[in-house]
Structure 1
Amino acid sequence: MANQSYLEKDTPLVPVGSHCILELYDCPKDLLNDVDFIKKTLEEGVKEADSTLLRELTHQFEPYGVTALALLAESHVSVHTWPEIGYIAVDMFTCGEHAEPEKACKYLVKAFQAKNHVLLKIPRGRLTPQLKNLEESLMSAAANK
């Protein structure tokens, strides 16, 4: 049973949205510790994605670092900063067909002045061959521990 997927073989897989994982590197450190800038940038990113902001929460860590969360009608965005290394981790999941999370991610790359970035987009609610292979690899790795 350890190697069995949680999906039944006849489970219908329908796309429900997109999940973007964005890694931003080599950002100006002062931007990553500025709660007001991060809040404003997150709000603008939500607009770029054609999404609806319902609520926002930010937290300033000591001595540095910020976590910002945006609850969207379409799902959520989270931003976590590490100013000491110029790094930001962004997670954006949007449901429905009108939202465009990649636009928000492109906006965030520019706004945070990232010199390097990695963007991974994952369809949610259906398995692509790549995700199925990833799932099988992860299950296999877990079974071999």
Structure 2
Amino acid sequence: MENQSYPLGKTSLVPVGSHCILELYECPKDLLNNLVFIRDSLQEAARLAGATLLKEITHQFNPYGVTALALLAESHISIHTWPEIGYIAVDIFTCGQHSEPEKACKFLIEIFNARNHVLLKFPRGRLTPQLQELGESFLLEAPSYC
């Protein structure tokens, strides 16, 4: 494979990107059922992450709840809301070194007025991530490889 961007046999050590799992709790219920607000928030999150938005899709559930998906050149962002319990599940996966999904997560925590949250971040394409507590959030990190 002449065009490989990493050494042959070392594929498990190559970081391909970052994956953030964000859980937002105790959010105002009216925001979680507002499709336009959620769509606009999704677009801004992609911009703040430094990602390239290719396409988005949103769906309003009856009687309540919204799912919004952003297809990014770097991968994806998804937002799923449960207004009846004030909960939002967010998934942000960005490939490459230029994207900053943590900025998108911080923005979503603020814009949805989450009173509590859990953030898990881990590298994709590496082995053996380790969980580290960071205040109210958790960060998954893999050991550094030389």
The two structures have a TM-score, normalised by structure 1, of: 0.81
- In 2, Cα distance between equivalents of 1:108 and 1:17: 20
* Cα distance per residue 1:67-94 (max 9 Å; x no partner): 0000000000000000000000000000
Q: Sequence identity of aligned pairs in percent? A: 74
SS of the residue corresponding to residue 130 of structure 2 reads helix
SS of the residue corresponding to residue 63 of structure 1 reads coil
Which residues in structure 2 correspond to 1:13-32 (within 5 Å)? 13-32=13-32
- In 2, Cα distance between equivalents of 1:33 and 1:130: 35
How many Å apart are 1:19 and its aligned residue?
0.3
Which residues in structure 2 correspond to 1:1-145 (within 5 Å)? 12-130=12-130
**Relative to 1, partners in 2 of residues 1:64 and 1:129: Cα closer, same or farther, differing over 3 Å?**
closer
- In 1, Cα distance between equivalents of 2:14 and 2:38: 34
How many Å apart are 1:130 and its aligned residue?
2.4
What stretches of structure 2 of length at least 5 have no aligned partner? 1-8, 132-146
- In 1, Cα distance between equivalents of 2:59 and 2:114: 22
**Relative to 1, partners in 2 of residues 1:84 and 1:18: Cα closer, same or farther, differing over 3 Å?**
same
SS of the residue corresponding to residue 99 of structure 1 reads coil
- Structure 1's consecutive aligned runs of 4 or more residues displaced over 3 angstroms after TM superposition are 9-12
**Relative to 1, partners in 2 of residues 1:99 and 1:10: Cα closer, same or farther, differing over 3 Å?**
closer
How many Å apart are 1:97 and its aligned residue?
0.2
Larger relative contact order (CA 8 Å, sep ≥ 6): 1
What stretches of structure 1 of length at least 5 have no aligned partner? 1-8, 132-145
Identify the residue that residue 5 of structure 1 maps to in structure 2: none
How many Å apart are 1:127 and its aligned residue?
1.3
SS of the residue corresponding to residue 19 of structure 1 reads strand
**Relative to 1, partners in 2 of residues 1:14 and 1:66: Cα closer, same or farther, differing over 3 Å?**
same
CA contact (8 A) 2:26 2:116 kept: yes
